[in-house]
Amino acid sequence: RNFGLLKFATMLKDSPNIGSGEITISGDPRVLPFGKILRKSKLNELPQIWNILAGHMSIVGPRPMVPNTFSMYSQKAKLELNKVCPGLTGIGSIVFRDEESFLTNKSDPEDFYKKHIIPYKNEIEIWYVKNQSLYLYGKIIFVTAWVVLFPNSNLFNKFFTNLPEMPKELLSSGTSGC
């Protein structure tokens, strides 16, 4: 479903058509100075409470995506993701809370994103849809708050022990703590 996602602006206008496109890399020059603070604290997502109240989103679910990113997902993942509302936070938001770090020092960040990050996001978002429950919903809210307050924590590994195994290409990248 398409809808207008509300966010505080953290990047230069027309940034998807500049530099690394829809992928944000560490130290991305398109991120505005105040935008760095908003992104790190996740306060840039605050306006999405309106999207939740309007019924476009849920508090927990796979993050909404631009059509180009959604098109990179497998057909199976697309079918599963369409069964639930997108969320303000989700398992993908927790695992990839510092997605830029996974792309640091990659010669082709876009290629790495397509070959390694997108397939794993497919797996964990399908996992969420198949395992969703009120208990899981609550755990995701708690762990999201925890990793926002303590970004280097790997507490989520203790809470979500049955997630699909992270590929070795991602284990050697990023700060997920897996």
Query: Is 154 a domain residue?
Result: yes
In a domain, 21, yes or no: yes
Q: Which of 12, 30, 156 is nearest to 90 (CA)?
A: 156
Q: Give the pLDDT confidence score for residue 99 in this predicted structure.
A: 84
Question: How many Cβ atoms are within 10 Å of 163's Cβ, its own excluded?
Answer: 19
Kindly give the confidence (pLDDT) of every residue in the chain, 178 residues in length, as a single tens digit, with 9 standing for 90 and above. 788 888 777 776 766 656 666 677 677 777 777 877 787 788 888 899 999 999 999 999 999 988 888 999 999 999 999 999 999 999 999 999 888 888 888 888 889 999 999 999 999 999 999 999 999 999 999 999 999 899 888 888 899 999 999 999 888 766 554 3
Is 56 in contact with 31 (CB distance < 8 Å)?
no
Print the domain residue range for 159.
15-171
- Work out how many domains the chain is built from and give that number: 1
DSSP tag of 83: T
The C-alpha angle 153, 155, 158, rounded to 5 degrees, equals 155
* pLDDT for the residue 178: 38
φ and ψ at residue 60, rounded to 5 degrees: -120, 135
Q: Per the domain annotation, does 119 fall within a domain?
A: yes
The backbone torsions φ and ψ at residue 11, rounded to the nearest 5 degrees and listed phi first, read: -125, 165
